[in-house]
Structure 1
Amino acid sequence: MMGLAYKQFRTISNQALSSKLDISIEMLGALRVLAHHGELPQQGLAEGLQRERSATKRLVDNCIKRGLIEAHRSETNKKAKYLVITEKGLKIKNEADEIVTEIIEQFFAPLTLEERSSLLNLCRKLIKDDVYLGGY
């Protein structure tokens, strides 16, 4: 049941973010990590998102094409690709955060405040600290 709820939430979120801002929920995750950490090597972003390097590379390439992230080579390690969120990326991240907050409110609207609190507490008991993805 949790999987179905999660899938439905992701679908609703992706549709809204795609139609309004031309980004995906994964792109929003990358923008959040970069906004929080500042400049990161691409591998650091992959670790922050807990994603494979190849999937992160595609995600980064799509963000670069949209002008949301900039990449540059390290002065000390020419192989390392460092990423930073652009001003446009920060603006899009903030707009996306507002959209997702609104979706969360609509998604949880059928639950009372007590039910929401109980659900959150139960989920916290199930999530292992070393697996938790901050910001989600």
Structure 2
Amino acid sequence: MSTDSIFAKDLRRLPVLENSPLFLMTVLTRLHRNLVHGKLREHADVTLEMLLGMHIIFENQPIKQQSLANYLMYDRSTAKRTVDNMVKRGWVKTMKDDNNQKTKLLALTESGEEIKKVCSEVVFETRTEFMDCLTEEENKELTRLCTKALLAHHK
């Protein structure tokens, strides 16, 4: 690594962290989330997780709440909280499954589809700016390597 450090100037270098790809990915993800959330707040009271949920719902509607949780790799209570927040904002509607009354199905409302559209553009632009420090080939390689590691540990 160069003499530049990922840490604030008043903190000493810690190679145990600087040489850890998983730590670096966590920090990079956190920085990106904070940047995206700041830009999203200008348009709606939406989080990146809600927006990802809206994309999944849109592509699979009506979708079981548990299926949404599985896509997002959330536990049941986290998925419920996310869905409840989207329902409260009028972006998602719930309905009972005719085959199983205990199963909650989800679909986007017109308002949800509009928020998804507008905010997805913001996220795309922000991600493009954020990752602009890498070439197109480097971005593809990063995606390939992350996918490879994820598939190696996929249950």
Q: TM-score scaled by structure 2?
A: 0.76
SS in 2 for 1:23: coil
**Alignment coverage as a number of residue pairs:** 131
Amino acid at match of 1:97: S
Deviation at 1:74, TM superposition (A): 2.3
Deviation at 1:116, TM superposition (A): 2.7
Q: Is 1:110 matched with 2:133?
A: yes
Counterpart of 2:5?
A: none
2:88 and 2:106 map into 1 onto residues whose CA distance is: 13
**Which has a greater percent of helix?**
1
Deviations 1:6-28 (A, max 9, x none): 11111111222233221001100
Q: 1:88 aligns with which of 95, 98, 111?
A: 111
Q: 1 or 2 for the larger relative contact order (CA 8 Å, sep ≥6)?
A: 1
Residues 55-94 of structure 1: pairs in structure 2 closer than 5 A: 55-94=78-117
Q: TM-score scaled by structure 1?
A: 0.86
After superposition, the Cα gap between the structure-2 partners of 1:71 and 1:49, relative to the gap in structure 1 and judged at 3 Å, is: same
Deviation at 1:105, TM superposition (A): 1.1
Counterpart of 2:36?
A: 13
Deviation at 1:115, TM superposition (A): 3.1
Say what the alpha-carbon RMSD is for the aligned residues.
1.8
**Higher-Rg member (1/2):** 2
Gaps of 5+ in 2: 1-23
Deviation at 1:130, TM superposition (A): 7.2
2:142 and 2:78 map into 1 onto residues whose CA distance is: 31
Gaps of 5+ in 1: 132-136
Deviation at 1:69, TM superposition (A): 0.3
1:109 and 1:82 map into 2 onto residues whose CA distance is: 39
Q: Is 1:97 matched with 2:120?
A: yes
Counterpart of 1:2?
A: 25
Deviations 1:27-54 (A, max 9, x none): 0011011111110121121112110110
Deviation at 1:121, TM superposition (A): 3.1
SS in 2 for 1:70: strand
2:68 and 2:49 map into 1 onto residues whose CA distance is: 12
SS in 1 for 2:106: strand
The sequence identity of aligned pairs, in percent, is 33
2:76 and 2:140 map into 1 onto residues whose CA distance is: 36
SS in 1 for 2:151: coil
After superposition, the Cα gap between the structure-2 partners of 1:124 and 1:43, relative to the gap in structure 1 and judged at 3 Å, is: closer
Counterpart of 2:143?
A: 120
